[in-house]
Amino acid sequence: MIHPAGKKVAVEKGKTLLDAVKQLAASEETSVEVPCGGLGLCGNCRIRVITGRMQPPTEAELEALSETELQKGYRLACQAVVTESLEVGIPPESMSSPPDLQTAGASITVAPDPIVKRYGLRLRESSLTNPKSCWQQIEHALASEHGATVSRIDAELIRRRNPLARETTVAVSVADAEVINLHTGGNPPPLAGLAVDLGTTKVAGYLVDLSSGKVLASDGVLNPQVRCGADVITRLAYAGDSPQHAGQMCRMARECINHLADTLTTRAGLKRSDIEQAVIVGNTAMQHLLLHWPTAQLCRSPFMPASTSPLLIKSRELQLDFAPGAQVYFLPSVAGFIGGDHTAMMLATRLDRSESVTLGFDIGTNTELALCCAGKIYCCSCASGPAFEGGALRHGVRAVPGAVSRVRLEADGQVRYQTIGSQPAVGVCGSGAVDAVAQLVKNNIVNSAGIMDEHHPGVRPGGEDAPVEFVLVSADKSGTGRDITLNQGDINAIQLAKAAIASATALLLSTAKLAIKDIEQVIVAGAFGSHLGLGSAISIGLFPELPRDRFAEVGNAAGTGARMALISAAERREAESLAAKVTVVELATHPEFGAVFSRSLQFPKPAAQTEFP
């Protein structure tokens, strides 16, 4: 029995509690966070055993759980093996709640010029005196009435439609000289397309009227692959374990897109089969997993993608249930882990057209950077890890209701905080963690090396089974009944993540022979970047120290770029041109990377007090 779902699940002896929860998660909105992919490294999948006996804790559990927690029945779901009937409860902080998934992005005007064109035709009834099928009549009418040359008709469309014609009007959709869909009657649905930003954590979808460019519906959902790991490296390792795991990751992504398409079309009063064109952008790993491409070469140097070229395939090849002949277009990747989502971000922000020196960040579990100056584009990617999205933190959660998102320390030592939705605190998300670290550094509770002062009155000293930690929310005020803290390991996780981005920034500038002072504009893309406290990010060295008015937050620019490529053939050509002219800076082989990264680990000296925005 698993609470709070109140459901019984049958699992074989020898399976883990995580296997039981995953089985339940397939049919219920109940799951647990496993950022490490179930390897026992993160300690996020705590479950409390209410009744029943279990084997002794593993070494991973002894490392992650305190003696008090073990006495209360807490175990790690990924480690605890089921040997008999049990009753367990998933605490709130372990549950995978629907996060605050941003879909809003940069606003840009693009003249619609979609690949798919819609034509209205009138057919005559097939007869002995008019021995022509509807397809023969359509091909002739398209050429004679609209000057549209058609060289083929989608085979699946022919299979689904009766070739005998009757006296009627039809609306025919044509893409790349191929008839891909047919609507009978006088009131066809809008010419609909779907743009998808397939992110490591979130999947954002936009249902678009291709004729006008208007967004008919948009939404964001959690990428179901998070059950198998919070970051791309963990997921690639999981997929590489076996063909079954690779297939599972592929199915998860495809089913997620189908479900998202269902949600959006229902909201717009359409059907999923009305989608006649789609554009999908994602980082290199996400694209490989969706396409079921080989991934082994991505896991070792020189980290080569199977392909970086743009791709146009039938939606049915991906088991995406759209219109019979619907196509899916993938923007080109740049290289390595600089994927099509970064190309989309550059397209949406017009980085290459800026006359000023512009630095662009697309922050996520994998962060991409672009530096544009004097007509040149320099790009790199860095593994910033899941800390900015709440992963790898002791009490980390995603941007869910109740997540601590803003933190400030008052002069008297009191902690002032805000939570998403003003709900009781259940954990701390990425923006809250960055705020908290900035405040701890500001108040000399954490030094420039990232070490917490154990003697500070606000710090709880560590013991044999407890790390040094700072209490953000006391148990009596939290929504979990437990203290919500930031410990030394959490500080180090944020430190490593910010150092990855800061060192990438430094090496891009060095390659272009520029200094921080030369940067005239900074564009911050990505959902996390939009929630981030800019002052805190600058104060810990995540962003370069520049005047605030040089920063612009543009939201989900990758999603905007996907929409642009969806409604305009010219924008696709622009995206392909952009990807081709990028100079890639490989951080792993850069001779100065080690030294620069080491310096970037340091926190800058405390600056002015960070206020809530």
For 115-131, how does the pLDDT look when each residue is reduced to its tens digit (9 = 90+)? 999 998 888 887 887 87
Residue written as tokens 């950077």? 369
What residues does each domain of the chain span? 2-94, 116-184, 192-330, 387-494
Strand order in the sheet with 202-209: 215-222, 202-209, 192-198, 275-282, 327-330, 311-314
* Residue 61 or 539, more confident: 539
Q: Cα–Cα distance between 5 and 383 in angstroms, integer?
A: 35
What's the token pair of residue 497?
A: 């993540």
Q: Which residues contact 361 (CB under 8 A, 6 or more apart)?
A: 367, 368, 369, 501, 522, 523, 524, 525, 526, 529, 543
Q: Decide if pLDDT at 593 tops 50.
A: yes
User: Are 400 and 425 in contact, with CB atoms under 8 Å apart?
Assistant: no
What's the token pair of residue 343?
A: 């190309």
Kindly indicate the confidence band of residue 1, based on its pLDDT and cuts at 50, 70 and 90: low
Kindly indicate the confidence band of residue 450, based on its pLDDT and cuts at 50, 70 and 90: very high
Q: Cα–Cα distance between 413 and 435 in angstroms, integer?
A: 15
Residue 576 buriedness (CB in 10 A; 0-12 / 13-18 / 19+): middle
Instruction: Provide the β-strand partners of residue 16.
Output: 81
Three-state secondary structure call for residue 446? strand
User: Are 424 and 397 in contact, with CB atoms under 8 Å apart?
Assistant: no
**pLDDT (mean) for 573-602:** 94
Q: Could you please state the CATH topology (level 3) that the domain comprising 2-94 is classified under.
A: Ubiquitin-like (UB roll) (3.10.20)
Res 53: pLDDT: 83
Res 5: pLDDT: 56
Q: Cα–Cα distance between 223 and 259 in angstroms, integer?
A: 11
DSSP state letters, 385-426: -GGGGTTTSTTB--S-TTEEEEEEE-TTS-EEEEEGGGPPB-
Residue 358 buriedness (CB in 10 A; 0-12 / 13-18 / 19+): buried
Res 106: pLDDT: 56
CB atoms within 10 A of CB 517: 10
Res 50: pLDDT: 86
**Mean pLDDT across the chain, nearest whole number?**
88
**pLDDT (mean) for 358-370:** 90
Q: Could you tell me what percentage of the chain is helix, strand and coil, using 3-state DSSP and rounding each to the nearest 5?
A: 35, 25, 40
Q: Is the dihedral of CA 415, 419, 424, 429 positive or negative?
A: negative
DSSP 592: T
Kindly indicate the confidence band of residue 4, based on its pLDDT and cuts at 50, 70 and 90: low
Q: Decide if pLDDT at 538 tops 50.
A: yes
- Among residues 372, 377, 379, 378, the alpha carbon closest in space to that of 355 is found at 372
| Threshold 0.85, pTM exceeds | no
Q: Decide if pLDDT at 282 tops 90.
A: yes
**pLDDT (mean) for 574-588:** 94
On the CB side of 67, CA atoms within 13 Å amount to 4
What's the token pair of residue 577?
A: 């041109």
Window from 159-173, 345-359, 551-565, 577-591 with minimum mean pLDDT: 159-173
Kindly indicate the confidence band of residue 7, based on its pLDDT and cuts at 50, 70 and 90: low
DSSP 57: P
* Residue 511 or 24, more confident: 511
Kindly indicate the confidence band of residue 258, based on its pLDDT and cuts at 50, 70 and 90: very high
**pLDDT (mean) for 413-441:** 93
Res 230: pLDDT: 76
- Among residues 593, 529, 588, the alpha carbon closest in space to that of 555 is found at 529
Q: Decide if pLDDT at 101 tops 50.
A: no
**pLDDT (mean) for 426-443:** 94
Window from 19-23, 314-318, 599-603 with minimum mean pLDDT: 19-23
**pLDDT (mean) for 253-276:** 97
152-153 and 427-428 strand pairing: unpaired
Q: Decide if pLDDT at 612 tops 50.
A: no
For helices 488-511 and 593-600, what crossing angle results, to 10°? 130
**pLDDT (mean) for 78-105:** 68
Res 397: pLDDT: 86
- Among residues 527, 595, 537, 525, the alpha carbon closest in space to that of 359 is found at 525
Res 515: pLDDT: 96
Kindly indicate the confidence band of residue 93, based on its pLDDT and cuts at 50, 70 and 90: low
Res 474: pLDDT: 92
Q: Cα–Cα distance between 372 and 512 in angstroms, integer?
A: 9
Q: Decide if pLDDT at 611 tops 50.
A: no
**By percentage, how much of the chain surpasses pLDDT 70?**
91
Most confident of 252-256, 388-392, 554-558: 252-256
Q: Decide if pLDDT at 108 tops 80.
A: no
Res 41: pLDDT: 66
Window from 358-362, 442-446, 463-467 with minimum mean pLDDT: 463-467
Q: Decide if pLDDT at 109 tops 90.
A: no
Q: Decide if pLDDT at 99 tops 50.
A: no
116-184 shares the fold of 2-94: yes
**pLDDT (mean) for 585-601:** 92
Res 62: pLDDT: 85
Express each pLDDT in 141-198 by its tens digit: 899 889 998 999 999 999 987 766 676 788 999 999 999 999 987 788 999 999 999 9
What's the token pair of residue 40?
A: 């026992």
Three-state secondary structure call for residue 379? strand
Q: Cα–Cα distance between 308 and 334 in angstroms, integer?
A: 6
Res 29: pLDDT: 45
Express each pLDDT in 211-253 by its tens digit: 999 999 999 998 999 888 878 888 999 999 999 999 999 999 9
CB atoms within 10 A of CB 423: 12
CB atoms within 10 A of CB 509: 20
Q: Decide if pLDDT at 82 tops 90.
A: no
CATH code of 116-184, in short, is 3.10.20
Reported as type and span, the H/E element at residue 291 is helix 284-291
Express each pLDDT in 24-43 by its tens digit: 654 444 566 666 666 676 67
CATH superfamily of 192-330: Domain of unknown function (DUF4445) (3.30.420.480)
User: Are 195 and 559 in contact, with CB atoms under 8 Å apart?
Assistant: yes
